[in-house]
């Protein structure tokens, strides 16, 4: 077992009231899981992801990574953000090398190069983020996350800042990297509000209820890859997930 989320609850408190965001979440993540967490907006799915990577603490419950309580700086877990979160004053290559420096990897240049090439960013090494299209910026996000060679990759709505066609392209290329056994990670957890995207990407979907978020369903998607969005079977799965959300 790679990851265990055990009895996780989260409450936000303001002066006048308490809001229960997540209510007793339990599930485990195994090697080769590509999990999409879906649910209506406000169901706490991004909060859950932040708790899973250790960026936020739950009020009760725990997250275990390979049997040990998760730490926020766990180098085996990487994160991709919706808004790319790259440093505008650093070039593509410097953005990637920076995370490697913090891990004290002596061969940081070589590793950065490897992952720049893997995501198709070669030629863009010395370019500043302001000169990049959204698709290229998110490729930097992927390269930076993969460069730490994580066991678990967490992604929070990684395609939702992109236009529809670019998003299509990046989903397919990310799945190519996922299919490549020589590339990290061993497991992916991705948060999305888009059911079709979840059925296209995941081999397992966890559905959260409207606030407070509870696990309403945890299902395996038994669709062959590569998947075709025009396939009637694909739509049966999309319908099935929708029927559990609505």
Task: Quote the least distance from Cβ 4 to other proteins, whole Å.
Answer: 33
Q: Which residues are within 8 A (CB) of 119 and not within 5 positions of it... i.e. 6 or more apart?
A: 139, 142, 143, 146, 173, 177
Residue 239 binds other proteins, judged by CB under 8 A: no
The binding track of 173-202 with respect to other proteins, each residue x by CB under 8 A or -, is: x--xx--x----------------------
The two three-digit tokens of residue 119, written as one number: 């995501």
Ramachandran area for residue 109 (φ above 0: left; ψ -120 to 50: alpha; else beta) = alpha
Rounded to the nearest angstrom, the gap between the alpha carbon of residue 97 and the centroid of all alpha carbons in its chain is: 21
- Point out which span in 20-28, 37-45, 145-153, 169-177 binds other proteins (CB under 8 A): 169-177
User: Is 118 one of the binding residues for other proteins (CB under 8 A)?
Assistant: yes
Query: Any contact of residue 126 with other proteins (CB under 8 A)?
Result: yes
Task: Indicate left, alpha or beta for 64 from its phi (over 0: left) and psi (-120 to 50: alpha).
Answer: beta
The one-character DSSP state at 227 is -
DSSP code of residue 209:
P
The answer to whether residues 97 and 130 touch, using CB atoms and an 8 Å cutoff, is no
131 phi and psi, to 5 degrees?
Answer: -90, 0
Select the residue interacting with other proteins from 30, 71, 163, 218 (CB under 8 A).
163
Q: Is 95 in the site for other proteins (CB under 8 A)?
A: no
CB-nearer residue toward other proteins: 136 or 148: 136
One residue of 31, 71, 131, 218 binding other proteins per CB under 8 A = 131
How many residues touch other proteins (CB under 8 A)?
Answer: 31
Which of 72, 228, 235, 236 lies at the binding interface for other proteins (CB under 8 A)? 228
């Amino acid at each position: 077992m790679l990851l265990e989320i055990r009895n996780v609850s989260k409450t936000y408190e303001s002066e006048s009231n308490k809001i229960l965001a997540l209510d007793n979440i339990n599930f485990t993540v195994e090697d080769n899981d590509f999990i999409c967490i879906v649910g209506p907006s406000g169901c706490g799915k991004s909060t859950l992801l932040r708790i899973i990577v250790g960026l936020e603490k739950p009020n009760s419950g725990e997250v275990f990574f390979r049997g040990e309580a998760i730490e926020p700086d766990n180098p085996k877990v990487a994160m991709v953000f919706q808004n790319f979160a790259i440093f505008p004053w650093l070039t593509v290559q410097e953005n990637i090398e920076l995370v490697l420096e913090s891990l004290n990897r002596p061969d940081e240049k070589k590793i950065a190069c490897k992952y720049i090439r893997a995501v198709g960013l070669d030629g863009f090494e010395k370019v500043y983020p302001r000169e990049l299209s959204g698709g290229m910026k998110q490729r930097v996000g992927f390269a930076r996350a993969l460069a730490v060679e994580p066991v678990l990759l967490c992604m929070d709505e990684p395609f939702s800042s992109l236009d529809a066609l670019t998003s299509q392209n990046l989903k397919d290329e990310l799945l190519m990297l996922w299919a490549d056994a020589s590339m990290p990670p061993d497991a992916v957890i991705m948060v999305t509000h888009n059911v079709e995207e979840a059925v296209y990407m995941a081999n397992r979907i966890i559905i959260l209820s409207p606030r407070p978020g509870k696990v309403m369903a945890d299902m395996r998607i038994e669709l062959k890859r590569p998947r075709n969005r025009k396939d009637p079977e694909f739509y049966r799965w999309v319908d099935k997930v929708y029927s559990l959300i609505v």
